[in-house]
Amino acid sequence: MHGLTKTFGKVRAVDDLSFTVEPGQVTGFLGPNGAGKTTTLRMALGLITPDTGTATFNGVRYAGLPAPMRQVGAVLETAFHPARSGRDHLRVYCRATGLPVGRADEVLDQVGLGPAGRRRAGGYSLGMRQRLGLATALLGDPSVLVLDEPANGLDPEGIQWLRGFLRHLAHDQGRTVLVSSHLLSEVEQTADRVVIVGAGRLVRQGSLAELRAGSAGSVLVRSPQVAALADLLRGDGTRVELTDGAPDGVTVSGLTTDEVGRRAFAAGIELHELRSHTSGLEEVYFRLTAGQEQYAARTEQGAA
């Protein structure tokens, strides 16, 4: 993506956005709702014409790819005719792209939709619809996968499956995966890198480790000697707050669980519970996108 800009009416949905997605990795494309993620992905796939800028796959624009479905697979929304079976839906695209129609059954099995393939897609649950979308993207066995909010509407089990599936596609099969989400927690366990956007602009990009380095998050501690523990930790300026609803608990910001445990042990303070509350990344994400929700909401309206 290079210098992508798109304006809908008066709203600039995407503003001079540039980033690169590396092969063999899962890249999370993060931003609040209306930050321009979908518009960016649609521009990359030639569905929306950008005002300025270009998006290329190995240097070639999507529309210029000789066999786009074999190189790039995309799941943008659950789109199918409700009266057509999932299998027939897939076979249509096999025919359109010259793939053997037998691929339809292969990808149905791959996403665990085999038995439901001959049923009308209109009767599918939300999770099955997402799987059908994923199956469509996988038809051409592409080396690049682009997924827009694929976890939307999935139940916890479906999300768990999706995470594993995406990791498998990227790490075991060496595909490039770009997956967008407005929830950090969705990509945190899957992505190697993240690209964060807000109000159509690039906010931050880098590996998860790099972003985590910015903040250590917060830690929950319970101890019968909670007052002593608080004094001990406050001694060097660490922020310690009482936890609501737990008289013996405190929330410690800026230290890891290891660090809190080590200091408590050194001071001979007994601990009953010690666990990380928010990850550092979560705080980074909130901080980076803070204040852009309002503007983003307006963008959403304009883009709708």
Partner 1 sequence: MGTVLTRLVRAEWAKLFSTRVWIGLLVGACVLSGAFAALFTAFAGNPDSGLPPLDSPEYGQLAFSLATNATVISVVLGIIGITQEYRHRTATPTFLATPQRGRVVIAKLLAYAVAGIGLAVVVCAVTTAVVLLYGNARGNAPDLSGDNLRVLAFAGLALVIYTVIGVGLGALLKNQVGAIVAALVYLFVVEPLLRSVPATAGAYKWLPGGALEAMTATFQGPDLLEQWQGALLLLGYGLAAAFLGTLLAVRRDVV
Instruction: Look up residue 106 and give its two tokens.
Output: 């292969």
Of the pair 87, 263, the CB lying nearest partner 1 is at 87
Looking at residues 70 to 89 of the shown chain, list those that interact with partner 1 (rule: CB under 8 A): 74, 76-77, 79-85, 88-89
Shortest Å, Cβ 85 to partner 1: 7
Of the pair 146, 252, the CB lying nearest partner 1 is at 146
Looking at residues 2 to 41 of the shown chain, list those that interact with partner 1 (rule: CB under 8 A): 39
Count of residues in contact with partner 1, rule CB under 8 A: 33
Of the pair 97, 253, the CB lying nearest partner 1 is at 97
Looking at residues 122 to 181 of the shown chain, list those that interact with partner 1 (rule: CB under 8 A): 136
At residue 183, what are phi and psi to the nearest 5 degrees? Answer: -110, 120
Among 20, 56, 95, 241, binds partner 1 (CB under 8 A): 95
Shortest Å, Cβ 9 to partner 1: 13
Q: How far apart are CA 280 and CA 253, in angstroms?
A: 10
Among 18, 47, 286, 301, binds partner 1 (CB under 8 A): 47
Q: Which residue from 70, 88, 86, 87 is spatially nearest to 78, judged by alpha carbons?
A: 86
Among 96, 209, 213, 227, binds partner 1 (CB under 8 A): 96
Of the pair 93, 161, the CB lying nearest partner 1 is at 93
Exposure of 272 by Cβ count < 10 A (0-12 exposed, 13-18 middle, 19+ buried)?
Answer: exposed
Of the pair 130, 289, the CB lying nearest partner 1 is at 130
Please choose, out of 19-27, 67-75, 204-212, 222-230, the segment that lies near partner 1 by the rule CB under 8 A.
67-75
Please choose, out of 25-33, 96-104, 182-190, 192-200, the segment that lies near partner 1 by the rule CB under 8 A.
96-104
Please choose, out of 15-23, 64-72, 178-186, 265-273, the segment that lies near partner 1 by the rule CB under 8 A.
64-72
Task: List contacts with partner 1 (CB under 8 A).
Answer: 39, 42, 45-49, 62-63, 65, 68-69, 74, 76-77, 79-85, 88-89, 91-93, 95-98, 136, 303
